[in-house]
Amino acid sequence: MPTGPKHRPPRTPSAPAAVRLQKVLADAGLGSRREIEGWIRTGRVRINGKLARLGDRIGPADHIRVDGKAVKRRSARQTELRVIAYNKPEGELVTRHDPAGRRTLFSRLPPLKTGRWIAVGRLDINSSGLLLLTNNGELANRLMHPAQALEREYAVRILGQVSAETLKQLTHGILLQDGPARFEARFEEIVESGGEGANRWFHVLLREGRNREVRRLWEAVGCRVSRLKRVRFGNVILGPRVFAGHWRDLTPDELTDLLALAGMERPRTPARRARQDRPPARHRKAAVRSPSKPEGKRVRAKTPGHKPRVR
C-alpha cells in the first residue's frame, strides 16, 4: 500500500463571530454598556439604516450610526487605555450637556485622540471628590457593576451629635425606597473622625453605588448631611495634591491594581506616563500614599458570627 504523505484540503477560514452591539460601541470608547443600552432603547442607534434593538449582534459588514453619525469600529486593544482621577467640586454636574447651561466636568477634561471620556458612576451636584473617568467602556462597565462590590469611601459631615445606637443601625441595614421596590442598604464601616462645634465628621465605607445612597442612609436615621466628599474608589485614593476641578492620570501601579479588581488584564499598549495638568510643576507628582485612618470610634457592619462593636 502507498505510504506517501496525505494531502488534506485547504481549510476555509471561519467567519468572524458576531459581537453584541453594546460591546462594539463600548470598545469604540463611546460609553459604558449600561449607557449604550439607554441609547438603544431611545432609538439613537441604527444598524444598516434600521433601528437597533437590545440583543442585536454585529458582523464585520454591518454599519452602525449613533445620532446619525457613523461609528468607526475598533477593538479595545487598538485604543490606548487611559484612566484619570478627577476631583469634582461642588456645584458641578456629571453630564455632557445641561439644558440649564450649568457647568459640567467634561469641559475640564483633556482631549482624547479616539473615543471619549466615560464617567465611572456619578456624584450629585452637591457632592465633591474623587471621580474616575476612562476611555474604555468595558472597564467602566465592570467597575460600576454591582457584582464587583468595589469599596467606595466617603468623608461625611453631619450636623449635630450622632449616638452609638444610630451608628450601629447604619451598619446593620436600613430599608430604602428605590422606585416601586425597596432594598436594604448599609455601611460596611463607619469611622468617627472628629469635628468642630455642632458638626461631626465620619468616614463611611460602601460597596454599592445607588443614587444618593450615602445621603439617603443618613437621612433615614434622622441625620442631616452638610458636606459629602468621596475620597477613595477601589484602590484609587484622591490624595491631597489634586485640587478641586483638576485631574491626574493613574500611576502604572494604580492602573494595574484597578484592572485586577475589575477582572481585566493590562492591555499591551504602551503605558502613559502619569501626569497632572495642574497645579504647578512642584505638585505634579501623582499621589500614591495610602490614606491615614482617622482616629475615633469605629463601627463595623454585622456579619455572621461577628457582632458590631464600637471602639
Model confidence, pTM:
0.70
Comparing 59 with 152, the larger pLDDT belongs to 152
Confidence class for position 305, pLDDT limits 50, 70, 90:
very low
Same domain, 111 and 233: yes
Q: What is the pLDDT of residues 156-206, one digit of tens each?
A: 999 988 999 999 999 998 988 877 777 888 999 999 988 777 899 999 999
Structural domain containing residue 293: 76-311
Same domain, 277 and 137: yes
Is 13 within a domain?
no
Is 9 within a domain?
no
Q: Is residue 27 annotated as part of the catalytic site, yes or no?
A: no
84 within 8 A of 245, measured Cβ to Cβ? no
Cell for 294?
482617622
Same domain, 39 and 84: no
Is 12 within a domain?
no
168, HSE (Cβ side, Cα atoms, 13 Å):
9
Instruction: Indicate which CATH number applies to the domain containing 60.
Output: 3.10.290.10
Tell whether the model's pLDDT for residue 139 goes beyond 60. yes
**In angstroms, rounded to a whole number, what is the distance separating the alpha carbons of residues 272 and 255?**
11
Same domain, 115 and 238: yes
Distances (CA, A) of 162 to 93, 122, 169, 202, 265: 30, 27, 11, 10, 44
How many domains, in total, are found in the chain?
Answer: 2
Of 48-62, 202-216, 220-234, the poorest mean pLDDT is in 48-62
Q: What is the pLDDT of residues 90-109, one digit of tens each?
A: 999 998 888 888 888 888 89
**In angstroms, rounded to a whole number, what is the distance separating the alpha carbons of residues 277 and 299?**
38
Is 1 within a domain?
no
**In angstroms, rounded to a whole number, what is the distance separating the alpha carbons of residues 152 and 242?**
18
Same domain, 307 and 218: yes
Q: What is the pLDDT of residues 264-287, one digit of tens each?
A: 887 665 444 445 444 444 444 444
Same domain, 270 and 200: yes
Is 193 within a domain?
yes
- Domain finish residue from 74, 106, 140: 74
Question: Which one from 67, 98, 124, 277 is the annotated catalytic residue?
Answer: 124
Same domain, 193 and 49: no
Distances (CA, A) of 71 to 31, 47, 91, 138, 219: 12, 10, 33, 17, 44
Tell whether the model's pLDDT for residue 55 goes beyond 60. yes
Percent above pLDDT 90 for the chain: 36
